[in-house]
Structure 1
Amino acid sequence: MKKITFLISFAFAVIASGFSQKIGVLKGPSGIPSAYLMEHFSADYKLFSGANFLLPGLIKGEVDIAFLPPNVAAKAYNAGGGAVVMAGVCGNGMVSLVTKDSSVKNLADLKGREIFVAGQGATPDFMMRYILKQNGISFDGASDNVRLSYSLPAAEIAPALILGKIQYAVLPEPFSTLACEKDSAVFRAVDFQAEFKTLSGLESFPMTVIAVNSGFAKSQPEKVRKFLERYKEAQEWTLSNPGEAGVLVEKFQLGLNRQVVEKAIPECAFVFETGESARRGVESLLLVFMEFDPSSVGGKLPDGGFYFE
């Protein structure tokens, strides 16, 4: 009888500690703060190498809370009958155009150049197109205009730049930091966040959001709020302790080595925004996606039901 009572008490303790939550974590920069969570917050963590692998489980409820690009979460909401909601923004823009060409001082200097972009149809791609278009620079592939290339996998772009196989690259963190660290001749010629601020008046654009299975959000709103509190704590610790964060990222095999993590954290634009400010930022980014490919966000801006309160 005592054994049964102990097991029941233990089960309730586990549930209270958060173990019943199934958390989907993407390997790479967006997963860096999750290393602290994995060390200190009991939950069922599932690691994924890409959003396309994580999303089906989130929609089905096999994952309760996850980290996704804003457009992926919006498309899942619009096209999936509200299957996914957004609880907050946890990462802002961290994209740069990097090169060894010291003659590049502004966007106009890129005319006639071939620029390799990490991820066709992803935020770096659409933001590059948006910035060029707003500055009156064509990217139609003509020899005297900017030519955007998607022929290299994202992981191969930084090494190709360092080796001199390509001259210009659009990279998110930590790849731009990696390129600059490996070769002192590589520098950030265009800061996409600064360009976007000039064009929109907003400080930056979101890159990563905290997405929640809508059924879980409706049935367990307090657990979602508790997770948000823990995630904020994890992010603040990560920003203050980049070296220790790198050790944890390696420990939990999140796809980055500790030295790169330590160098990249100050450039990764981790933020924690909920409520109206998060919505404003997400909608500003989704409008950029819609300008070039409305289907990438499900054809429309998501309505108010997309935003967890």
Structure 2
Amino acid sequence: MNFKRITSLIIVGVMSTGLLLGCGSNKTAKEENKEEKSVKVVMPDGLPSIAMAKLVKEKPEIGKNYKVEYSIEKTPENLSTAVMKEEADIAVVPSNMAAIAYNKTKNYEIAGTVGFGSLYLVSTEEIKDYEDLNGKTIANIGRGLTPDIITKSIFKERGLEADKDVTFNYLNAASELVPTIVAGKEKIAVVPEPALSALMTKKPEVKIVKNLNDEWKELNNSKNGYPQSTIIVKKSFLDENKKFINDFLKEVANGTKWANENKEELGNYSEEIGVSTDKVMIPKAMERANIGFVDIKDSKDDYKNYYKKLLEIDPSSVGGALPDEGIFMER
């Protein structure tokens, strides 16, 4: 091979390498300049947003080219609208709303739970067991929703029929429940955390009669109790963003673990992101809040039993029918 021939091959080789490197650079540039994808995450004020406080406050980067926008909804109507109009890519909702969203849209699946039951039967009277409730009036919130249905289901299995053995007086929200009990207008009530901690601070004579989540576990042979705050994911978003969802759920798990280990800082975080609960109450509430992430693969039976009970008491509370297996997200 003569010198000119060798020189020509070297030049061609250098040019080819340059072209390949150029193509690689262009590909990398395209990936780096990939259009940013907006992800909308909505949740209600209260324990669900407290459970998610670390994510909302710190806004960790979850995958490249994703911008996560968190919204804490102050009313159930706003939360429901965001889900039913399929505006939310991810939402934390009351567990019965997860069933309604699936039955109505077929576009939301359950990814896991950030909180199991945090409802407590309390009294300023001497109430020791269920037989002492016979003929009594009990204050509650959420007629036809989780607090109402859970209470009625447990009472029924413990031998008390609603509107026959006991009477329920429904208030609009826990924020109304607390001052009513403090003023002595109601003596027995079902109160959720974090309202319970505020109530017991203002009226020390209030005593916990029953932890309704423990009652549910005993009656239903359940490891976790009843699911209260559920993470749902829009299926059309999941199909194209599985890695993002898996990474997001890891952050949720880490966030709820951190919340249980850093209760004082959690109070500060919650205040900064706009949670309405007084930050002083949050460390106390966490002792009974039952916050923690449980993946759907480990809680399917809890949901199936929960929805079955809801359907028996009020079919509309789950959207009129028992959700099929499609409601459970597959990784």
TM-score computed with the length of structure 1 as normaliser: 0.89
Gaps of 5+ in 1: 1-6
Counterpart residue type for residue 25 of structure 1: M
Gaps of 5+ in 2: 1-28, 61-67
Matched, 1:100 2:132: no
In the TM superposition, residue 288 of structure 1 has moved relative to its aligned partner by 1.6
| Residue equivalent to 1:176 | 196
| Residue equivalent to 1:3 | none
| Residue equivalent to 1:242 | 263
In the TM superposition, residue 61 of structure 1 has moved relative to its aligned partner by 3.8
Residues in 2 aligned to 1:181 and 1:98: alpha-carbon distance in whole angstroms: 14
8 Å Cα contact 2:141-2:171 kept in structure 1: no
Counterpart residue type for residue 83 of structure 1: N
Residues in 2 aligned to 1:41 and 1:233: alpha-carbon distance in whole angstroms: 13
Judged with a 3 Å threshold, the aligned counterparts in structure 2 of structure 1 residues 248 and 289 are, in CA distance, closer, same or farther, namely same
| Residue equivalent to 1:297 | 318
Counterpart residue type for residue 129 of structure 1: K
Counterpart residue type for residue 131 of structure 1: I
Paired residues for 1:274-293 under 5 Å: 274-293=295-314
Residues in 2 aligned to 1:166 and 1:11: alpha-carbon distance in whole angstroms: 61
| Residue equivalent to 1:76 | 101
Judged with a 3 Å threshold, the aligned counterparts in structure 2 of structure 1 residues 85 and 288 are, in CA distance, closer, same or farther, namely same
Residues in 1 aligned to 2:242 and 2:76: alpha-carbon distance in whole angstroms: 24
Matched, 1:60 2:85: yes
| Residue equivalent to 1:197 | 217
Counterpart residue type for residue 167 of structure 1: K
Matched, 1:208 2:229: yes
| Residue equivalent to 2:185 | 165
Residues in 1 aligned to 2:244 and 2:75: alpha-carbon distance in whole angstroms: 25
| Residue equivalent to 1:20 | 38
8 Å Cα contact 1:97-1:169 kept in structure 2: yes
Counterpart residue type for residue 53 of structure 2: A
In the TM superposition, residue 211 of structure 1 has moved relative to its aligned partner by 0.9
8 Å Cα contact 1:107-1:190 kept in structure 2: no
| Residue equivalent to 1:30 | 48
Counterpart residue type for residue 130 of structure 2: L
Kindly tell me the number of residue pairs found equivalent between the two proteins: 294
What CA deviation, in whole Å up to 9, does each residue of 1:128-161 have, x standing for no partner? 1111111121222x4xx21011145431111111
8 Å Cα contact 2:121-2:208 kept in structure 1: yes
Residues in 1 aligned to 2:184 and 2:33: alpha-carbon distance in whole angstroms: 57
Q: Over the residues paired in the alignment, what is the CA RMSD in angstroms?
A: 1.9
Structure with the greater alpha carbon radius of gyration: 2
8 Å Cα contact 1:158-1:169 kept in structure 2: no
Judged with a 3 Å threshold, the aligned counterparts in structure 2 of structure 1 residues 298 and 272 are, in CA distance, closer, same or farther, namely same
In the TM superposition, residue 93 of structure 1 has moved relative to its aligned partner by 0.5
Residues in 1 aligned to 2:185 and 2:48: alpha-carbon distance in whole angstroms: 28
In the TM superposition, residue 299 of structure 1 has moved relative to its aligned partner by 2.2
Three-state SS of the structure 2 residue aligned to 1:266 is coil
Residues in 2 aligned to 1:67 and 1:53: alpha-carbon distance in whole angstroms: 13
Matched, 1:185 2:205: yes
Question: Between the two proteins, what is the percent identity of the paired residues?
Answer: 29
Three-state SS of the structure 2 residue aligned to 1:77 is helix
8 Å Cα contact 1:58-1:212 kept in structure 2: no
Judged with a 3 Å threshold, the aligned counterparts in structure 2 of structure 1 residues 190 and 11 are, in CA distance, closer, same or farther, namely farther
Q: Given the alignment, which residue of 148, 151, 156 partners 1:125? A: 148
Counterpart residue type for residue 196 of structure 1: W
TM-score computed with the length of structure 2 as normaliser: 0.84
Which range moves more in the overlay, 48-57 or 232-241?
Answer: 48-57
Counterpart residue type for residue 35 of structure 1: A
Residues in 2 aligned to 1:21 and 1:87: alpha-carbon distance in whole angstroms: 16
What CA deviation, in whole Å up to 9, does each residue of 1:190-210 have, x standing for no partner? 111121122111131110110
Residues in 2 aligned to 1:50 and 1:121: alpha-carbon distance in whole angstroms: 17
